[in-house]
Amino acid sequence: MSGAGGHSGDLPILPGATLGVLGGGQLGRMFAHAAQRMGYFTAVLDPDADSPAGRVSHHHIHTDYADVDGLARLAGLADAVTTEFENVPAPSLEHLAVARPVSPAASAIAIAQDRIAEKAHFTRCGVPCAPYAVVETAEQLAAVEDHLLPGILKTARLGYDGKGQQRVKTRAELVEAWQAAGCVPCVLEKMLPLEFECSVILARGRDGQIVHFPPQRNLHRDGILAVTEVHPQNMPKTVAQGAVNSAKSIASGLDYVGVLCVEFFALADGSLVVNEMAPRPHNSGHYTMEACDVSQFELQVRTLAGLPLTAPRQHSPAVMLNLLGDLWFPGGEADGAKPVAPRWSEVLAVPGTHLHLYGKMAPRRGRKMGHLTLTGATLESVRANASQAALLLGLPALA
């Protein structure tokens, strides 16, 4: 059960060992469930005493991610360590890697934490980005070329779910937005005519083998993923293959080990540009737990433990609906409104419905509380049932 019991970094790490994860959110929770199902013990390090993953794990080290004593305890318990989100301090992963196998590596996490480094990596891999400019100084701000406007100013670090992003149309708005961001390093991306958004989730082993899921078609609302659809008709085959090839190139260029999600914009002319990468399982891959024979979380376990990777097969069309805390406040959160549980009984009466709630203690606006995956024998039935479930929850109908 304990990593202190003689394991010295040899792979594979077989069931009965302990796998550790930095981060106690819903992705860590689903990783822990997948590891436990396969016979592993789990250890979570997270500063939140009520973290969703910590509450279901065999061990919860309740401390900050940079706490040396806490990291030592994790290394003593776990035979290998991964992370569930990209903003874990890269030096903490480096520290752990001295004692235990860690994947993804700190170097890959560090690139994903910085949009400037991330875009440079995409360029090195030959994967096109939207035209952009780095804005770290007032001089660089003044030198931004006119053709990049209108654009989106994004902070280089700590941005996710639409946070740290501002749309700007003019130079005056650009200056104001950079000042509002605190004059921190940013990138300005040119706004492009989007047809749709998509993502690819892959797993890469230490031997360089890569397996991947079918590309997901995604719909965002207010910068947060709202709907994912995965079926053969969700995008042109040429776009899907181009996304897979680009994602593989990005992973290989990092010498990546683990599960990686790469998000893309499909443009009106049929071309693709890469948006960003997430060095972990991803919201758009939650459908894999019901619609595929191997989930993204099982692949995370396999890559961490050095187990064989098998190409996942999707056996059912799927639609995933993200469930935000807004659903608990149908009249809004104003005036001390108390949360009201959504209509779960009616939703669960819809055929092919799979409800996942993340164990978060308090719903609030914009907070990811869970997701709903719908599967079935035909695409038509799945989309119809997803539309019915959305209607019951007060969500917009499927497009």
Q: What is the mean pLDDT of the chain?
A: 94
160 band by pLDDT with thresholds 50, 70 and 90: low
366: annotated binding-site residue?
A: no
Q: Residue 277, annotated ligand binder?
A: no
pLDDT in tens, 17-33: 999 999 999 999 999 99
Q: Could you report the per-residue pLDDT of 366-384, keeping only the tens digit for each?
A: 899 999 999 999 999 999 9
Q: Using CA atoms, how far apart are residues 103 and 111, in angstroms rounded to an integer?
A: 14
Q: Is 335 annotated as a binding residue?
A: no
Please check if 29 is assigned to a binding site: no
Question: CB within 8 A of 240, min separation 6: which ones?
Answer: 198, 214, 215
5-to-1, 2, 17, 390 alpha-carbon distances in Å: 8, 6, 9, 49
Q: Tell whether residue 154 is among the known ligand binding residues.
A: yes
pLDDT band at 4 (very low <50, low <70, confident <90, very high): very low
**Which CATH number does 131-190 carry?**
3.30.1490.20
* Residue 162 annotated as binding site: yes
Tell whether 191 is in a known binding site. yes
Annotated binding-site residue? 38: no
What architecture is domain 194-393? 2-Layer Sandwich (3.30)
pLDDT at 1 exceeding the cut of 70: no
Query: Does 276 appear as a known binding residue?
Result: yes
161 is in an annotated binding site: yes
Interatomic CA distance for residues 79 and 62, integer angstroms: 19
Reported confidence tier of residue 337, pLDDT bands at 50, 70, 90: confident
338 is in an annotated binding site: no
Percent of residues, the chain, with pLDDT higher than 90: 90
Is 159 annotated as belonging to a binding site?
A: yes
What whole-number percentage of the chain has pLDDT above 70? 95
Give the pLDDT mean for 152-173.
85
220 is in an annotated binding site: yes
CATH fold, domain 18-102, is Rossmann fold (3.40.50)
* Bridge partners, 82 (sequence order): 21
Classify residue 378 by its DSSP letter: S
Alpha-carbon gap, residue 384 to 387, rounded angstroms? 5
Consult the annotation and say whether 86 binds a ligand.
no
Consult the annotation and say whether 190 binds a ligand.
yes
Q: Dump pLDDT digits (tens) for 221-230.
A: 988 999 999 9
What's the pLDDT tens digit per position in 279-323?
999 999 999 999 999 999 999 999 999 999 999 999 999 999 999
The residues spanned by each domain of the chain are 18-102, 131-190, 194-393
SS3 at position 175: helix
- Burial degree of 11 (CB within 10 A; 0-12, 13-18, 19+): middle
